[in-house]
Amino acid sequence: MTKAITVSGLRKSFGRTHALDGLDLDVETGEVHGFLGPNGAGKSTTLRVLLGLLRADSGAAQVLGRDPWKDAVEVHRRIAYVPGDVTLWRNLSGGEVIDLYGRLRGGLSQARRAELIDRFELDPTKKGRTYSKGNRQKVALVAAFASDVDLLILDEPTSGLDPLMEEVFQRCVEEERERGRTVLLSSHILSEVEELCDRVSIIRGGRTVESGSLADLRHLTRTSVTAELVGAPNGLAQLPGVHDLDVRGHRVRLQVDTERLDAVLRSLADSGVRSLTSTPPTLEELFLRHYQETS
Amino acid sequence: MTSLAGTGLLLRFHLRRDRLTIPVWVAVNALMVLSMPTTLEGLYGTEAERADLLDQVAANSSFRALIGPAFGDSLGALTAWRVGVYAGALAAVMSLLIVVRHTRDEEESGRQELISSGVVGRRASLTAALLTAATANAVLALLVTAGLAGRGAAGALALGLGLAAVGMLFATAAAVVAQLTESARLARGLTAAVLGAAFVLRAAGDAATTDGSSVLTWLSPLGWLSQVRPFAHERWWVLALFVAAVAVQGALAYGLAGRRDVGMSFLPTRPGPASGRLRTAGALAWRLQRGAVLGWSVGFFLAGVVYGGLTDGVADLVGDNERAREIFERMGGQSGITDAFLASMTGMLGLVAALYVVAAVLRLHGEETSGRAEPVLANAVGRLRWAAGHLVIAFGGSALIMLLAGLGFAVGYGKEVGPVLGACLVQVAGVWVVGGVTVLLYGVVPRVAPLAWAVAGAVLLIGWVGPALDAPRAVLDVSPFGHLPKLPGGAMDWTPVLVLLALAAALVAGGLAGLRRRDLTT
């Protein structure tokens, strides 16, 4: 598989703040890649470097096989970008902005534009100053999804959208994936990322701390297990990788490193299992673990 | 009164936000008024000269249209005549800006919602905005009264109160308009249009009669101001007109403010087209700037017509006064008084055009800092192409408005058409240097780009005040306009013009090189 985006050792400082401190990122062509991190981690800075709006101090970045700073215009023909906070011109209507953005990119499918306006329930005749936050966001989303491009760069694109529109957004991203387009999705909403993304990269302090498919990442974390046993539990506390063991009579709750799950299940089965639930770690737990560890 | 809860706090907050702008507005206005007696004394030192000036004003309708009727030959009365309308207009602009800034601007930006959710009454923001304007106008009145008291306490008080009254009249007018429109820019534009109409009505009325008794004059608040007749048997009752108008407009604004939702307006925004025809970044730039280009074009053409129409009258008026002639000749070059007047007026328009070019170039800065440039540049639009769209409008537009001013002179004056047109066009070299400095600042150090206003201000000050003060050559030479040949009348000298054009080109190139290399600010 070819790479849509490759970034290695990216550094960028603003005065004394190191916004990016050796960031790595790989996005495969055709995948939806989640880009996670708390406020100030450097997500938007990375995206702006990838768009050639900022020039990296050092490190290498390639977008669609080109240098995003030097070949900005060429690269941008194949990219659609949605910022997290869309500002519009007060006296231009939403429809005018959608068409302008479409034409300034590779072009725009009118049929797709009409369909998206319908699905997002956007009124394209309103002037920029009269749109609410969510509706401004929709203007940029319609322009991006209707554009004829290979790569979508979305920077917290759903801020201000209601849950119904969030749903529409998710379906649109899935359609993009089916068409073979690549999506880089920076987000705060972990359920959104969990739902949509093939792979994720988690960054903190301008550095990538974790990258891989959700299954890979889960492998490194703990599964929580709750079981009702026939007999008394035996020897669970001695098993490696077991945490937060809580035994009340025949009820057992515990957390286990996912790679040690096998031994725990065997031990539980020895005591006879009446019921068992096992929950894989949510992305949220994964996320929190990374941030609580060193912050 | 719960609808006024929080007014005091908001007033303090407004004054803090305006701690720089209000003092500057008031100081500039007061200085203009207070320096006038000395200037006039220098020009018309003897009583006979002043009586002569009074006769000239009575005889010359263009002068009355531009400045207003004069009612006495004391230095005080002539000061009120010479600066009254302009100081009043300045107070009006200050007041309308203050009121819109603290009412509609806040609502449009959404900041008002947060304020209104606090312990703040429905009418508190409007009240605080009007009180802020009232504070500024009161200080202006105080300074003018105190500064001119030596020429007659009653006259000084009348002028001070008159200026503040005009200010408050337009403050309350802006308060009404701000209830009607959804956009602050439109509210400012509409109120300014009312001010413009007031100026035109007064000008027409004062041109028609020698004492301003025309109905047209009395339809205009600026006409009322001169009819207070400071230092010439003050007519205090005219001030009652202001009080009544302020009360009516204030009541209207209050009524409207209590009856509408926050952020909403009585004139809803019309919907736009569902699809657009804008294809390029250049088309977008034109769409954003075309209104300004049109406004400046009309303004410069009309200014050309008016100054052109005044030209013959000026020769008569100034012809007899040795010192005034000297100043005009210093501003305009060493030829006959008519050419000197034409040269100084075209030069002045050139200086004003420098303000246009700064505003137009700084649109780039506005687009960038507001975050609107970022998604545009994330498309297949190079930075230079994007910037070029705005720069063509800025530089082409400044040449266009100077051309239109020249055509205005042709309409209003009708003689020396070619040379006067040349005099207007030669200014473009100076304007473009100021534009070039703005591009350089924006491209290389965007954080300080608004300093371009200071550059334009300094150039304006040197050009306007320098000759009257007989400033040394070294100071005058700082301004690019100081190097331009004095046309018409003087000899055309291509060398400085070409040097300035080359300098402008170099500055623009430097700015664009900077823009290409730097990070986009967000």
pLDDT band at B361 (very low <50, low <70, confident <90, very high): very high
Q: Tell me: pLDDT of B159 over 70.
A: yes
Task: Examine the domain organization and report whether B318 and B409 are in the same domain.
Answer: yes
Q: What is the 3-state secondary structure (H, E, C) of B31-94?
A: HHHHCHHHHHHHHCCCHHHHHHHHHHHHHCHHHHHHCCCCCCCCHHHHHHHHHHHHHHHHHHHH
Tell me whether residues A88 and B185 touch, CB distance under 8 A.
no
B171 and B208 both lie in a single domain: yes
Task: Decide if A230 contacts A273 (C-beta within 8 A).
Answer: yes
Partner-chain residue, chosen from B269, B276, B281, that has the shortest CB–CB distance to A130? B269
At residue B14, the pLDDT reads 92
Whether B231 and B308 share a structural domain? no
- Distance from C-alpha of B173 to C-alpha of A243, rounded to nearest angstrom: 72
Same domain, B260 and B283: no
CB atoms within 10 A of CB B267: 14
Average pLDDT of the residues in B433-440? 97
| Proportion of chain B above pLDDT 90, given as a percent | 53
Are residues A74 and B284, on separate chains, in Cβ contact within 8 Å? no
What's the rounded mean pLDDT across residues B300-307? 88
Rounded to a whole number, what is the distance in Å from the CA of B283 to chain A's nearest CA? Answer: 10
Q: With beta carbons under 8 A apart, name residues in chain B contacting A53.
A: 374, 377-378, 519-520
Q: Please tell me the distance from the alpha carbon of residue A69 to that of residue A54, in angstroms, as a whole number.
A: 8
| B305, pLDDT greater than 80 | yes
Question: What per-residue confidence (pLDDT) applies to B11?
Answer: 93
Give the DSSP letter of residue B376.
H
Distance between CA B429 and CA B137 in Å, rounded?
A: 39
Cβ within 8 Å, pair B274-A105: no
Structural domains in chain B (count): 2
Q: Which residue in this structure is represented by tokens 């013959």? A: B312
Q: Which has the higher per-residue pLDDT, B168 or A255? A: B168
**pLDDT reported for residue B396:** 97
Over 70: is that where the pLDDT of B317 sits?
Answer: no
Tell me the pLDDT band of B518, cut-offs 50, 70 and 90: very high
* Residue A295: predicted pLDDT: 47
Domain boundary among B245, B268, B291: B268
Residue B273 lies in a domain: no
Q: To the nearest whole angstrom, how far is the Cα of A67 from the nearest Cα of chain B?
A: 14
Please tell me the distance in Å from B270's CA to the nearest CA on chain A. Answer: 8
The answer to whether the Cβ–Cβ distance between A127 and B271 falls below 8 Å is yes
pLDDT of residue B320: 64
Q: Do A81 and B375 touch (CB under 8 A)?
A: yes
Q: Which helix (H) or strand (E) holds A275?
A: strand A273-279
Choose the closest CB to B276 out of A72, A87, A95.
A95
Task: Kindly tell me if the per-residue pLDDT of B181 is higher than 90.
Answer: no
Structural contact between residues A49 and A113, judged by C-beta atoms closer than 8 angstroms: no
CB distance B454 to B363 below 8 Å? no
> What is d(CA B516, CA B521) in angstroms, rounded to the nearest whole number?
13
* Best B109, B279, B379, B522 residue to mutate vs chain A (most A CBs within 10 Å): B379
CB contact under 8 A, B279 and A103: yes
Q: At which of B242, B268, B294 does a domain end? A: B268
Q: Which of A20, A49, A50, A53 is most worth mutating to test chain B (most B CB atoms within 10 A of its CB)?
A: A53
By the 10 Å C-beta count (0-12 exposed, 13-18 middle, 19+ buried), A17 is classed as exposed
**What single-letter amino acid sits at B349?**
L
How would DSSP label each residue in B436-492? HHHHHHHHH-GGGTTHHHHHHHHHHHHHHHHHHHT--HHHHTTSGGGGS--TTTS--
Domain that holds residue B357: 279-522
Contacts 24+ apart (CB under 8 A), B40-44: B40/B75, B40/B78, B40/B79, B40/B82, B41/B75, B42/B323, B43/B321, B43/B323, B43/B324, B43/B327, B44/B78, B44/B321
- From chain B, pick out residues whose CB is under 8 angstroms from the CB of A82: 375
CA distance A280 to chain B (A): 39
pLDDT at A113: 95
Question: Which ipTM value was assigned to this complex?
Answer: 0.79
pLDDT in the model for residue B474: 83
Nearest to B187 by CA among B306, B98, B56, B298: B98
For A106, name the nearest residue in chain B, comparing CA atoms only.
B380
Dihedral sign from CA coordinates of B97, B100, B103, B104: negative
Quickly count helices (H) and strands (E) in chain A.
Answer: 10, 13
B220, B86: one domain: yes
Whether B481 is covered by a domain: the verdict is yes
pLDDT at site B311: 83
Q: Are residues B202 and B244 in the same domain?
A: yes
CA distance B9 to A268: 68
Alpha-carbon span B103 to B123, nearest angstrom: 10
Cβ within 8 Å, pair B380-A124: no
Question: Amino acid letter at A166?
Answer: E
Closest CB from A54, A93, A101 relative to B273: A93
Residues contacting residue B224 through CB under 8 Å, at least 6 positions apart:
B162, B218, B238, B241, B242
The chain A residues in contact with chain B (CB within 8 A) are 48, 51, 53-55, 72-74, 76-77, 79, 81-83, 85-93, 95-101, 103-106, 123-127, 129-130, 140, 153
Average pLDDT taken over every residue of chain B: 89
Does B290 lie in the same domain as B217? no
What local confidence, expressed as pLDDT, does residue B114 receive?
Answer: 79
pLDDT one-digit tens code per residue, B386-399: 999 999 999 999 99
Residue B514 has pLDDT above 80, yes or no: yes
B64 confidence band (pLDDT: 50, 70, 90): confident
pLDDT score recorded for residue B39: 85
- Candidates A87, A103, A124; nearest CB to B371: A87
pLDDT band at B334 (very low <50, low <70, confident <90, very high): low
**Average pLDDT score over residue span B187-192:** 89
Q: Give the per-residue pLDDT at A257.
A: 83
- Homologous superfamily of the A220-291 domain (CATH): Malonyl-CoA ACP transacylase, ACP-binding (3.30.70.250)
Q: Where are the domains of chain A?
A: 1-210, 220-291
A148/A146 Cα distance (integer angstroms): 7
How close, in Å, is residue B142 to chain A by CA atoms? 40
Give pLDDT tens digits for A49-107. 999 999 999 999 999 999 999 999 999 999 999 998 899 988 899 999 999 999 888 78
Are the Cβ atoms of A103 and B108 closer than 8 angstroms? no
- For residue B233, the SS3 value is coil
| Residues facing residue A32 across a β-bridge | A183
Range with lowest mean pLDDT among A124-133, B117-126, B325-334, B493-502: B325-334
Q: Determine the average pLDDT of the residues in B51-56.
A: 87
In A, which residues are within 8 Å of B376 by CB distance?
101, 104
Parallel, antiparallel, or unpaired for β A207-213 and A58-63? unpaired
Per-residue confidence band for A220, with pLDDT thresholds at 50, 70 and 90:
low
CA distances from A57 to A20, A83, A87, B383, B519 (A): 9, 23, 28, 20, 11
> pLDDT tens across A96-119, in order?
999 999 988 878 899 999 999 999
A35 neighbors A183 (Cβ within 8 angstroms): no
Q: Give me the residue from A101, A123, A127 closest to B379, CB to CB.
A: A101
C-alpha to C-alpha distance for A16 and B389, rounded to whole angstroms: 35
In a domain, B274, yes or no: no
Contact between chains at A92 and B272 (C-beta distance less than 8 A):
yes
Query: For B185, which residue in chain A has the nearest alpha carbon?
Result: A90
User: Which pLDDT belongs to residue B336?
Assistant: 76
pLDDT tens sequence across A160-170: 899 999 999 99
Answer with the residue of higher pLDDT: A143 or B469. Answer: A143
- For residue A77, list chain B residues with Cβ-Cβ distance below 8 A: 380
- List, in order, residues 6 or more apart from B280 with CB less than 8 Å away: A103, A104, B389
Which residue in the set A72, A77, A96 is minimally distant from B278, CB to CB? A96
B509 is a domain residue: yes
Q: A93 vs B272: CB contact, 8 Å cut-off? A: yes
> Residue B197 has what pLDDT?
85
Residue pLDDT, tens place only, B399-410:
999 999 999 999
Q: A81: which strand partners?
A: A153
Contact assignment for A99 to B275 by CB distance below 8 Å:
yes
The architecture of the domain spanning A1-210 is 3-Layer(aba) Sandwich (3.40)
- Number of A–B residue contacts, CB under 8 Å: 114
Average pLDDT over residues A226-241: 86
* CA-based end-to-end distance of chain B: 43
Cβ contacts (< 8 Å) between A85 and chain B: which residues?
Answer: 371
Distance CA B373, CA B364 (A): 8
pLDDT band at residue B229 using 50, 70 and 90 as cut-offs: very high
Strands laid side by side in the A182-187 sheet = A79-82, A151-155, A182-187, A32-36, A199-204, A207-213
Residue B194's Cβ-side half-sphere holds a number of Cα atoms within 13 Å equal to 20
What are B90-107's pLDDT values in tens digits? 999 999 999 999 998 888
| % of chain B residues with pLDDT over 70 | 95
Do residues B283 and B415 both lie within one domain?
yes
Which pLDDT score, from 0 to 100, does residue B132 have?
96
CB-CB contact of A45 with A12 (8 Å):
yes
Whether pTM exceeds 0.95: no
CA angle B111, B117, B122 (to 5 degrees): 90
Per-residue pLDDT tens over the stretch B242-264: 999 999 999 999 998 878 777 67
pLDDT classification of B318: cutoffs 50, 70, 90: low
Mutation test of the interface with chain B: which of A57, A103, A136, choosing the one with the most B Cβ atoms within 10 A? A103
Same domain, B258 and B285: no
Closest-CA residue of chain A to B369: A87
Instruction: Kindly report, residue by residue over A174-212, the tens digit of the pLDDT.
Output: 999 999 999 999 987 777 888 899 999 989 889 998 888
Output the pLDDT for position A157.
92
Q: Give the single-character DSSP code of B502.
A: H
Q: Give the pLDDT confidence of B66-95 residue by residue, as tens digits.
A: 888 999 989 999 999 999 999 999 999 999
Domain end position, chosen among B238, B268, B298: B268
A52 within 8 A of A75, measured Cβ to Cβ: yes
Q: What local confidence, expressed as pLDDT, does residue A56 receive?
A: 92
Which of chain A's residues have a Cβ under 8 Å away from the Cβ of B370? Answer: 87
- B103 and B134 belong to one structural domain: yes
pLDDT at A294 over 60: no
Same domain, B288 and B246: no
Amino acid letter for position A280:
P
